[in-house]
């Protein structure tokens, strides 16, 4: 008298989030992500644009003189347009492809506009150097390699 029935899932159990191992993995993963996030950035100065890419053990830096930039490409998808991030590519004279390429860059259109303004002369580094030369009380001046990164 055995009836043949389909197997039915009654319930499922997973590892508790309250165990130490779960939180240890979360902290290590988040720490690694933040470490790598901090090592990948684009810095714009009054003379050049610098892309720093870093991995866990190594990294690279690409620097282009603003006068040599010939083409800037910004590509955003629907979600990128809402959240203000996208692909940012820079091509210089004598290059067939993008020399600087940064996927997921925050505010890529703002960076493109700042580069064009620097190239046109409507934005110069003097207004920025005046702010960093005489910092407000309790603040320190920023060097070119410590330029703020939009988040």
Give the domain ranges of the chain.
41-134
What is the value of pTM for the model shown?
Answer: 0.66
Least confident of 9-13, 29-33, 40-44, 104-108: 9-13
CATH numeric code, 41-134? 2.30.29
Q: What is the mean pLDDT of residues 94-118?
A: 92
Q: Which of 14-18, 74-78, 120-124 has the lowest mean pLDDT?
A: 14-18
d(CA 120, CA 115): 9
- More confident call, 145 vs 21: 21
Region 41-58 average pLDDT: 90
């Amino acid at each position: 008298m055995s009836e043949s029935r389909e197997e039915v899932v009654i319930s499922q159990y997973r590892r508790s989030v309250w165990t130490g191992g779960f939180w240890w993995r979360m902290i290590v993963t988040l720490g690694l992500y933040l470490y790598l996030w901090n090592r990948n950035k684009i810095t714009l100065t009054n003379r050049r644009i610098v892309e720093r890419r870093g991995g866990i053990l190594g990294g690279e830096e690409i620097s282009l003189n603003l006068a040599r930039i010939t083409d800037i490409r910004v590509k955003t998808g629907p979600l990128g347009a809402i959240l203000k991030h996208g692909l940012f590519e820079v091509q210089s004279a004598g290059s067939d492809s993008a020399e600087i390429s940064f996927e997921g860059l925050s505010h890529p259109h703002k960076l493109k506009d700042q580069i064009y303004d620097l190239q046109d002369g409507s934005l110069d580094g003097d207004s920025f150097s005046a702010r960093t030369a005489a910092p407000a009380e309790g603040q320190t001046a920023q060097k070119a390699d410590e330029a703020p990164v939009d988040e």
